[in-house]
Structure 1
């Protein structure tokens, strides 16, 4: 795949694969095993901060979940491919999402919540994205809502059965503008689950100024930087259209990836544990507020 410079009104520039970011094993919550790609200090990730993947058939790897803990200054989006997770927070929100569902949370000035598996066997495969909030919104009112699988819009991408599930944001699919129901961030953060048949080659128009990332969770993705395998993230350069190719000799199940895009915030990032602000002083204030019980006031 080559980056094409427009030379007529009918040509478009393709986004090149600018770099590949490797994921790594980690743990969070009460010892949940995850695979993580973090970009807190990478301006070219903005507005995204982190992608965590939970993937295990062993309940011991995830059953302890994420007991009550605080956040400030971010939004999160949790998306499940299999298994179930239940959210509860200090505002009284409570809801479980199952296979194919998602939930969005705005921490704003402060939220205390838990995320716990609601099934003890059968395996777990899902993701949580951390999305930065603009400085002007970081102390806004917390919010939460869920999206059950039947609410997710799906569109076919080619005759081989490749498809896209639209979770958040507005996407142009075959000339039609289609919106996923989650997220209303100033960053225009948008999320889709793309599933490519072996040998598929599809193109999607995307806003030229948006950051575009693809996290491969199944199979592999063919790029001009070589074949990118599962558990890694591709960061694409500037352009008007994104070309996604699944190797023809890949596994029969094809390629699965989370496609992320959003307007970069171009603001400083200060991060400590569950808090993401703009300055170290704001982080210190968040810690004090949590310790003295006023984080959610």
Structure 2
């Protein structure tokens, strides 16, 4: 049976992927919210959806729909800036809807406990988009690691450099209080994937943490991880520069490259299918990665000491 959706953050970068997922799973978007009205993308999917620029009127609309049992919203999709996720998830739960939220679910680990309380009160669930867990190459890697009974500790290098222009630092994304900083904004899905495969964090060291880049070391149960995240085009390796690539993504496990650059286009739709089938990733699945990035954000970098990412020698 078709489900009725509302969406918060319709003008954002990630919103079209959610609209496409709602459409491709045979469901309907009935209402959308964004303070900015450049949302013509809605016409590509749900031109009949009601649109609001004020959260108070949007909340009122959902409440009216809730009181009409035939028209109530079943799910609220949250695509708003990171620091608003907590409030917008609560808005959805209060309106008797399940919530599907982009990562990070929240910025601080303790906010998860408050959301769990409201889940219990309302009987509705909160789901996080953790799409790398549904990527075929990542699933294959997890199965390979689980099948290895040798007890070895794997050596991993994670490198993600994605060039961003000046606009980034004028937007909410450039404000750590709103985005959580580089590690949260562009890295949390990698940290979730790594702890999902290689186990809980035993040590979390930060070597560098600046407005446009961060690097550190994670000791997981079954892996040693040197990681680097950057928005600075000057940090791109020569192999990317020579090919004119603005983004460089690499994960090596014991020196072997894990190829997962393809297969991303349908992962939001797969995430929605997963959730609608009752298999979504909830609050507890999101907790470890949120704890990791919160620890990165709140600790003092130690500089180039210990086991640090090799790219740091050139930065």
TM norm structure 1: 0.25
- Name whichever structure is richer in helix by fraction: 2
- Name whichever structure is richer in strand by fraction: 1
TM norm structure 2: 0.24
User: Which one has a bigger Cα radius of gyration?
Assistant: 2
